[in-house]
A and B are shown apart, each in its own frame.
Chain A
């Protein structure tokens, strides 16, 4: 058990460290960096075809335009790049694979000159048949997005199938699926879908690259994971990694869209071509939609066997992830969703295949939830569907199948820890709240219907087994510290929680803990990436470790000065003293730069504490998926009360109730702001968002007028959040991650509430008014007809 003791900072809602800078406008973003001497600007020309061979590129007249410094094409650096699968071109090399793919890039004195140069470039294409539908693409070996897949490098965790469009196939197997279905009284099959969506972060992507004449590389970028950018740039340009520096100022939202490597290689390449001058690229919103990565689309077919008393005997699933033209990062989305496949349940017989598929559409990357919001849309709709068919309460049914300590996590033969937290407690909290607070009055018009729905879920960080974090703390003369971590601040608030951990460990007032909001790979401690709700857990443990290390060094000196064994020393309120003898204290300020005796003799020296944490996981068996895929799971449940206008299909969210077993809320207000932010983002995706293409694969809504995201007035009236604290023994103060979890149950909860309200099943997102109407029209035409009449009667 974690010790319960009086704390100064843990569990306290300390105001965000970055709040003032952000509210006042003082915070610096990559867009603001304009003062690099000799900087040029980049614009790129994109492919107008979803699939075409490049016959010729003529840049001769563009080169003559005054102010044009360099023009690059794919042939300038035709290496394949990528994090998990090396399938990406910096600029299209032989062929283009989606509308919006960068083909030629220009560096010029100004963006306007670069635009003029683009207008003067001629590209000839030979159009190839394109494949847009992931289901067709999975089975096609005629139209291939990547004919040369066999030549690509990839991490050993993945299984691409050359000669097809399958970028990765992840298999999960447990028990005997046939036996499982034979024990079932009822078998229920469904197909569920989710379209591709955009991250729609506030800040479009900005990257500045400088290939210096001494061979070092500097990059400023709106990137979530500066160390991964540094590493992959090293690989791409065959440069020693320590010769590369990546600076990331504050990030205006990332949500996974700025994880991995994006446009950094392009600006570095251009910089080298332009005589080592720095190059700045800032995407317009339209470019960001068409040329930057997006989120996978999903199609899933699920078959569930259940006994009449509510025990799930078998589950068979096929997930198809529409990754677009590159699957560099999305192969891991398919893998992570693959090993979780069935959600927070304990089922004896499982067969699941998770396919990441190439299509000729914009390419997908990480997205808050990493496949888990999609998979829980499938699982949690199917659970309600099943409960309804066998006539059980949806929560009672779920709880007779949920994952309990000691049981294996999905099929991975990795048993759930005793201290893992409780899905059942989350489900209960939400369900009781929803039912007790259900609106008592009947809706104001006969065509309004109320409903409630719930969804449970779980997620752990999806990361490689050797993912690691580090931290250091460096003292200043007055005993204050600088905490250095590698995790980025893109709105989550993690740096504030990390500062709280450091203040707690070292007995410092929070005002004396400095933690920077920007990242510099030369200055800062390493972390693998800022993704997967891993930072508070991993970097938090590293910060704690660094503080303990510093404390050990402090006690070593204090022990000599005070002539007391270091085990007997206490550090509190910036004072070090023997237990019970506060009056014999030394101050931190007296010690941290070295202690000087009254005689002038000195010992010790400036203190730097160093800490680290490395994931404890394993590789997974390629045939069964068995192994340990995550360092922890966070469990949660979300529920909604909705009002539907059955005449128009409009849904109003009255309340969003969430419960998470987060182990320990280091900063409860920050947790709640994540719950509200994630909740609204998920509502937006559930009810409205979808990237829409025409038959040629042209994106029809590449801007925020046509691609609708939630606005202030769409925010529900009421949010209720429960923070359950069953501590995780290896988490910092018992904490688990929450950032992504706040979205996972929302779509399925709404889908379930719709059924609860009007007995209409909707399996495809988004739950737009039009979709709801068309399903009512198909499933209950008599309801619509009778409601229309009621308008004049009412």
Chain B
């Protein structure tokens, strides 16, 4: 009968606040599935209150230096997994070089939640509607994860999501950072999100990027996992026409399988996917 109870507070758990990556990985190693990392808590606390998860130990990762790193070098951008979105947005290069990500972050959750919510938490939750997923793909992000058992490994973002709320992360693995190569000059990218009001989870999210060599598209909330497409071979002569669009749409249409839920019907999601794709292609290519 528990589904008829609306809990006031959180279930009981121990809280650990490690100050080093090593300490954190040790804790994860000991507690495995009985623990959960805590970044901003904007997903975790909701799940805890509704008893969707009941870990014995919560590991606050906000004091780990590696996870707090925010750095733009001539080659790449590194965003520590626990850097709050509002802080990421202070880095001016985000807007210049990673427009799609900037547009997603600048509109994510709401102004207050952005002071807490992190990109690490967003992808670790692996929601089909994770706003950062599309832009991270179009910027060819690589996720650095670490664990005591397997050490450090890099996961390309298009290998990260495995199902609804399922990712490639092992229970003892921690996301350390998200890394994106510096784009070549003339790369253009964009993100668009359809929602029911000024602040809402996505009905559909769409991101795209384009340069001389590559054109990438990423979609959220249209399938159990974010949908990523490399359409570089379909973009001929750097132009977009109705014919070219139709061939792109055929690919997209075969990969998406939206559902009907409280936010939207399946049909509307398909329609919006098409419209956002058109608008984004126009923005990044024409």
A and B interact physically:
yes
Bound-state CA distance A714–B195 (Å) is 12
Q: Are B1 and A287 in contact (CB under 8 A)?
A: no
Q: Are A713 and B198 in contact (CB under 8 A)?
A: yes
* Interface residue? B279 (CB, 8 A): yes
* Interface residue? A440 (CB, 8 A): no
- A687: chain B residues within 8 A (beta carbon): 197
- A47: chain B residues within 8 A (beta carbon): 4
Interfacial residues of chain A within 107-150, with CB under 8 A of chain B in the complex: 111-112, 115, 118-119, 121-123
Could you mark each residue 87-127 of chain B with 1 if its beta carbon is under 8 Å from any beta carbon of chain A, else 0?
00000000000000000000000100000000000000000
Residue of B nearest to A286 (CB): B6
Interfacial residues of chain B within 194-213, with CB under 8 A of chain A in the complex: 194, 196-201, 203
Could you mark each residue 709-727 of chain A with 1 if its beta carbon is under 8 Å from any beta carbon of chain B, else 0?
1111110000000000000
Q: Are A774 and B6 in contact (CB under 8 A)?
A: no
Residue of A nearest to B279 (CB): A791
* Interface residue? B8 (CB, 8 A): yes
Bound-state CA distance A115–B262 (Å) is 28
Could you mark each residue 437-465 of chain A with 1 if its beta carbon is under 8 Å from any beta carbon of chain B, else 0?
00000000000000000000000000000
Could you mark each residue 665-694 of chain A with 1 if its beta carbon is under 8 Å from any beta carbon of chain B, else 0?
000000000000000000010011000100
Bound-state CA distance A692–B8 (Å) is 24
- B267: chain A residues within 8 A (beta carbon): 774
Q: Are B268 and A115 in contact (CB under 8 A)?
A: no
Q: How far is the CB of A166 from chain B (nearest CB, A)?
A: 30
* Interface residue? B72 (CB, 8 A): no
Residue of B nearest to A687 (CB): B197
Q: Are A792 and B199 in contact (CB under 8 A)?
A: no
| Most B-side CB within 10 Å, residue of A119, A700, A774, A792 | A792
Instruction: Mark the stretch among B78-86, B174-182, B239-247, B251-259 that contacts chain A.
Output: B239-247
Q: How far is the CB of B32 from chain A (nearest CB, A)?
A: 26
Q: Are A773 and B198 in contact (CB under 8 A)?
A: no
* Interface residue? A708 (CB, 8 A): yes
Q: How far is the CB of A120 from chain B (nearest CB, A)?
A: 9
Q: Are B197 and A48 in contact (CB under 8 A)?
A: no
Interfacial residues of chain B within 234-286, with CB under 8 A of chain A in the complex: 240-242, 245, 261-265, 267-268, 271-272, 274-275, 278-279, 282, 286
Bound-state CA distance A712–B263 (Å) is 20
Query: A43-B5, A286-B6, A692-B262 are contacts. A791–B199 as well, Cβ < 8 Å?
Result: no
Q: Are A711 and B275 in contact (CB under 8 A)?
A: no
Query: A706-B263, A791-B282 are contacts. A713–B3 as well, Cβ < 8 Å?
Result: no
Query: A791-B278, A792-B278 are contacts. A284–B1 as well, Cβ < 8 Å?
Result: no
* Interface residue? A45 (CB, 8 A): yes
Bound-state CA distance A711–B203 (Å) is 17
Bound-state CA distance A688–B196 (Å) is 7
Choose from B9, B194, B241, B242 the contact partner of A648 (Cβ within 8 Å).
Answer: B194
Query: A700-B262, A792-B245, A792-B286 are contacts. A123–B1 as well, Cβ < 8 Å?
Result: yes
Could you mark each residue 1-28 of chain B with 1 if its beta carbon is under 8 Å from any beta carbon of chain A, else 0?
1111111110000000000000000000
Bound-state CA distance A290–B5 (Å) is 11
Bound-state CA distance A712–B4 (Å) is 33
Query: A711-B199, A792-B278 are contacts. A48–B241 as well, Cβ < 8 Å?
Result: no
* Interface residue? A770 (CB, 8 A): yes
* Interface residue? A408 (CB, 8 A): no
- B8: chain A residues within 8 A (beta carbon): 43, 111-112, 115, 282, 284
* Interface residue? A788 (CB, 8 A): yes
Residue of B nearest to A770 (CB): B268
Interfacial residues of chain A within 614-668, with CB under 8 A of chain B in the complex: 647-648
* Interface residue? A789 (CB, 8 A): yes
Q: Are A648 and B4 in contact (CB under 8 A)?
A: no
* Interface residue? A705 (CB, 8 A): yes
Q: Are A792 and B197 in contact (CB under 8 A)?
A: no
Q: How far is the CB of B47 from chain A (nearest CB, A)?
A: 13
* Interface residue? A46 (CB, 8 A): yes
With an 8 Å Cβ cutoff, the count of chain B residues facing the other chain is 37
Q: Are A119 and B5 in contact (CB under 8 A)?
A: yes
Bound-state CA distance A46–B267 (Å) is 35
Q: Are A792 and B241 in contact (CB under 8 A)?
A: yes
With an 8 Å Cβ cutoff, the count of chain A residues facing the other chain is 46
Q: Are A119 and B1 in contact (CB under 8 A)?
A: yes
Bound-state CA distance A710–B9 (Å) is 27
Q: How far is the CB of B210 from chain A (nearest CB, A)?
A: 15
* Interface residue? A756 (CB, 8 A): no
- A788: chain B residues within 8 A (beta carbon): 274-275, 278
Q: Are A45 and B198 in contact (CB under 8 A)?
A: no
Q: How far is the CB of A291 from chain B (nearest CB, A)?
A: 9
* Interface residue? A701 (CB, 8 A): yes
* Interface residue? A163 (CB, 8 A): no
Specify the main secondary structure of chain B where it touches its partner.
loop
- B1: chain A residues within 8 A (beta carbon): 45, 48, 118-119, 121-123
Bound-state CA distance A41–B272 (Å) is 48
Residue of A nearest to B277 (CB): A791
Q: How far is the CB of B222 from chain A (nearest CB, A)?
A: 15
- B242: chain A residues within 8 A (beta carbon): 789, 792
Query: A688-B196, A705-B201, A706-B263 are contacts. A45–B278 as well, Cβ < 8 Å?
Result: no
- A647: chain B residues within 8 A (beta carbon): 275
- A708: chain B residues within 8 A (beta carbon): 196-197, 200
- B9: chain A residues within 8 A (beta carbon): 111-112
- B275: chain A residues within 8 A (beta carbon): 647-648, 788, 791
| Most B-side CB within 10 Å, residue of A47, A122, A773 | A773
Choose from A284, A688, A700, A794 the contact partner of B197 (Cβ within 8 Å).
Answer: A688
Q: Are A714 and B198 in contact (CB under 8 A)?
A: yes
Q: Are B196 and A769 in contact (CB under 8 A)?
A: yes
Bound-state CA distance A290–B245 (Å) is 46
Q: How far is the CB of B182 from chain A (nearest CB, A)?
A: 30
- A123: chain B residues within 8 A (beta carbon): 1
Interfacial residues of chain A within 766-788, with CB under 8 A of chain B in the complex: 768-770, 773-774, 777, 788
- A48: chain B residues within 8 A (beta carbon): 1, 3-4
Q: Are B194 and A769 in contact (CB under 8 A)?
A: yes
Q: How far is the CB of B2 from chain A (nearest CB, A)?
A: 6
- A792: chain B residues within 8 A (beta carbon): 240-242, 245, 278, 282, 286
| Most A-side CB within 10 Å, residue of B3, B5, B262 | B5
- B271: chain A residues within 8 A (beta carbon): 773, 777
- A774: chain B residues within 8 A (beta carbon): 267-268
Q: Are B2 and A119 in contact (CB under 8 A)?
A: yes
Q: Are A711 and B197 in contact (CB under 8 A)?
A: yes
Bound-state CA distance A688–B262 (Å) is 11
Q: How far is the CB of B195 from chain A (nearest CB, A)?
A: 8
- B198: chain A residues within 8 A (beta carbon): 710-714
Q: Are A115 and B240 in contact (CB under 8 A)?
A: no
Bound-state CA distance A282–B265 (Å) is 35
Q: Are B5 and A648 in contact (CB under 8 A)?
A: no
Bound-state CA distance A140–B81 (Å) is 58
Q: How far is the CB of A289 from chain B (nearest CB, A)?
A: 9
Q: Are B110 and A284 in contact (CB under 8 A)?
A: no
- B286: chain A residues within 8 A (beta carbon): 792
- A692: chain B residues within 8 A (beta carbon): 262
Bound-state CA distance A733–B119 (Å) is 59
Residue of A nearest to B50 (CB): A286
Bound-state CA distance A290–B4 (Å) is 10
Q: Name 16 A/B residue pairs within 8 A (Cβ), A-sorted.
A: A45-B4, A46-B4, A115-B5, A284-B6, A284-B8, A647-B275, A688-B197, A692-B262, A708-B200, A713-B199, A769-B194, A770-B203, A773-B268, A788-B275, A792-B242, A794-B282
**Residues of B bordering A, CB below 8 Å:** 1-9, 110, 194, 196-201, 203, 240-242, 245, 261-265, 267-268, 271-272, 274-275, 278-279, 282, 286
The list of the 3 closest CB pairs from A to B, nearest first, reads A713-B198, A286-B6, A770-B268
A-B contacts besides A45-B4, A118-B4, A711-B197, 18 pairs, CB < 8 Å: A47-B4, A48-B4, A112-B9, A118-B1, A118-B5, A284-B7, A700-B262, A705-B201, A708-B197, A709-B197, A768-B196, A769-B196, A770-B264, A777-B271, A789-B242, A791-B278, A792-B240, A792-B286
